[in-house]
């Protein structure tokens, strides 16, 4: 019998101690990333080193280097708490009773943003009477990419490494369901994109949009252990792009202005400092009043990297804008009072 993903569960929890399995990884305290969770790649290695010898063409023996795993995950965005793993930690919370607002501000969390939040992932499979459960510890997210396009949901891709793993034979009998108030995922159809202009204007006829938050994180090894003993992050980077109908030169002029190190002239005759402006990407579930759920990514310190066009006979003309940001503030409202706690 061949087994499919319908036999598998995946859940995660933040670690309070690097590479020590989170106590909350089992039971209802654990959480899922979102709908349509997919493992797009998964590998674990002991970095075997083959050793040869003079006067012989064969491998004589093996030594073993650093243990390391890597895993890439995709899911549909409905919960914002994956952000806790990509540099947005311990955000502010306001509200009550199934209507909480979470705010993560990179500028206000400098000390926290410099630290990598490690996490534990548990992946279980009921394989015809033989349970397979693997617990991955010391997980660190290298990058998170959010993408969406016409007719699609909003998808998130996580690229992560982990320090070690262990196998048990007991499936978790109490999986972590997504909250009822998080049960409606975000889609492209209920999104808006606002880019710096005078005044800030929502761009219409956007075809697709994506951005990547990179921690450039890595594991740190020490003498006496084949397993990573700590983690760190390098330069924090935010890059993105969007494609929209090419109907004017507003975006192109911003690129000109940056090239000349000047403020750009807006269509209304004023100047706009793009580096002080905000690019806002907002999604909602389009439900009324207290059932409405929104998430807004507000990027500041915008620098346009390049402007691209492709023109074909009898086809719409679209411009693609590639940009980079210095900082980001994320605001999301949902029914959950606190983000998953490290344990």
- Domain total of the chain: 1
Q: Please state the pTM of the whole predicted model.
A: 0.89
Tell whether 58 is covered by a domain.
no
CA separation for the pair 111, 88 (Å, rounded)? 11
Instruction: Quickly list DSSP for 77-109.
Output: ----GGGGGTT--S-EEEE-SS-EEEEEETGGG
The confidence score (pLDDT) of residue 276 equals 57
Q: Which helix (H) or strand (E) holds 168?
A: strand 164-168
pLDDT (tens digit per residue) in 193-203: 997 655 567 88
Q: Is the pLDDT of residue 110 over 80?
A: no
Residue 52 included in any domain: no
Q: Is the pLDDT of residue 267 over 50?
A: no
**HSE of 46 in the Cβ direction (CA atoms, 13 Å)?**
9
Higher pLDDT pick, 245 / 127: 245
Residue 264 has pLDDT above 50, yes or no: no
Predicted confidence (pLDDT) per residue in 148-186, tens digit: 999 999 999 999 999 999 997 677 766 655 655 556 789
With cut-offs at 50, 70 and 90, classify the pLDDT of residue 266.
Answer: very low
Determine the average pLDDT of the residues in 144-150.
97
Model pLDDT, residue 174: 62
* Mean pLDDT, the chain, integer: 85
Residue 125 is part of which domain span?
A: 5-43+65-334
pLDDT at 274 over 70: no
106 Rama sector, left if φ>0, alpha if ψ -120 to 50, beta otherwise: alpha
- Residue 187 CA to residue 210 CA, distance in Å, equals 13
Confirm whether 341 is domain-assigned.
no
In a domain, 146, yes or no: yes
> If pLDDT is split at 50, 70 and 90, which confidence band does 305 have?
confident
Question: What span, in angstroms and rounded, lies between the C-alpha atoms of 175 and 185?
Answer: 20
**What pLDDT, on the 0 to 100 scale, is given for residue 269?**
45
Structural domain includes residue 313 = yes
- Residue 330 Cα to chain centre, angstroms: 12
Instruction: Kindly state the tokens that stand for 263.
Output: 């403020």
Tokens of 28: 């209802």
**CA–CA distances in Å: residue 191 to residues 205, 245, 273, 280:** 12, 16, 25, 10
Q: Is residue 70 part of a domain?
A: yes
Asked if 253 and 271 touch (Cβ cutoff 8 Å), the reply is no
Torsions phi, psi for 169 (to 5 deg):
-120, 20
Alpha-carbon distance 93 to 86, whole Å? 18
Higher-pLDDT residue of 113 and 99 is 99
**pLDDT at residue number 150:** 96
Residue 94 to residue 321: CA distance in whole angstroms: 35
252 within 8 A of 304, measured Cβ to Cβ: no
pLDDT at 288: 75
Q: What is the pLDDT of residues 43-61, one digit of tens each?
A: 999 999 999 999 999 999 9
Give the pLDDT confidence of 207-260 residue by residue, as tens digits: 999 999 999 999 999 999 999 999 999 988 999 999 999 888 777 777 766 655
Whole-angstrom Cα distance, residue 51 to residue 168? 33
**For residues 289 and 38, which has the higher predicted lDDT (pLDDT)?**
38
- Cα 55 from Cα 15, distance rounded (Å): 50
pLDDT of residue 52: 94
| Alpha-carbon span 253 to 265, nearest angstrom | 7
Q: Is residue 294 part of a domain?
A: yes
Q: Do 340 and 120 form a contact (C-beta atoms < 8 A)?
A: no
Separation in Å, CA 110 to CA 55, 90, 311: 58, 11, 44
Q: How distant is the alpha carbon of residue 9 from its chain centre? A: 20
Q: What percent of the chain has pLDDT over 70?
A: 85
CA 340 to chain CA centroid, Å, is 16
Asked if 174 and 158 touch (Cβ cutoff 8 Å), the reply is: no
Residue 51 placed within a domain: no
């Amino acid at each position: 019998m061949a087994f499919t993903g319908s036999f598998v569960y995946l859940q995660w929890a933040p670690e309070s101690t690097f590479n020590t399995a989170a106590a909350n990884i089992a039971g209802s305290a654990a959480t899922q990333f979102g709908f349509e969770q997919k493992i797009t790649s998964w590998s674990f290695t002991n970095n075997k080193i083959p050793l040869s010898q003079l006067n012989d063409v064969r491998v004589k023996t093996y030594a073993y280097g650093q243990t390391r795993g890597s895993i890439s995950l995709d899911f549909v965005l409905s919960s914002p708490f994956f952000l806790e793993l990509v540099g947005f930690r311990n955000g502010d919370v306001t509200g009550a009773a199934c209507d909480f607002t979470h705010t993560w501000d990179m500028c206000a969390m400098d000390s926290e943003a410099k630290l990598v939040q490690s996490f534990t992932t548990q992946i279980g499979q009921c394989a015809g009477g033989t349970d397979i459960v693997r617990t991955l510890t010391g997980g660190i997210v290298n990058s998170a990419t959010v993408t969406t396009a016409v007719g699609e949901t909003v998808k998130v891709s996580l690229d992560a490494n982990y320090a070690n793993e262990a196998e048990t034979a007991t499936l978790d009998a109490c999986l972590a369901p997504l909250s009822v108030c998080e049960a409606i995922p975000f889609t492209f159809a209920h999104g808006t994109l606002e880019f710096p202009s005078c005044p800030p204007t929502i761009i219409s006829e956007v075809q697709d949009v994506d951005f990547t938050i990179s921690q450039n994180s890595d594991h740190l090894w020490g003498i006496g252990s084949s397993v990573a003993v700590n983690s760190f992050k390098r330069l924090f980077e935010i890059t993105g792009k969007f494609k929209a109908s090419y109907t004017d030169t507003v975006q192109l002029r911003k690129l000109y202005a940056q090239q000349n190190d000047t403020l750009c002239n807006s269509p209304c005759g004023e100047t706009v400092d793009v580096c002080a402006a905000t690019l806002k990407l907002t999604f909602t579930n389009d439900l009324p009043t207290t059932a409405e759920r929104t998430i807004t990514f507000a990027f500041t310190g915008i620098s346009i990297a390049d402007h691209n066009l492709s023109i074909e006979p009898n086809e719409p003309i679209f411009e693609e804008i590639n940009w980079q940001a210095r900082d980001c503030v994320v605001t999301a409202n949902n029914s959950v009072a606190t983000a998953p706690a490290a344990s």
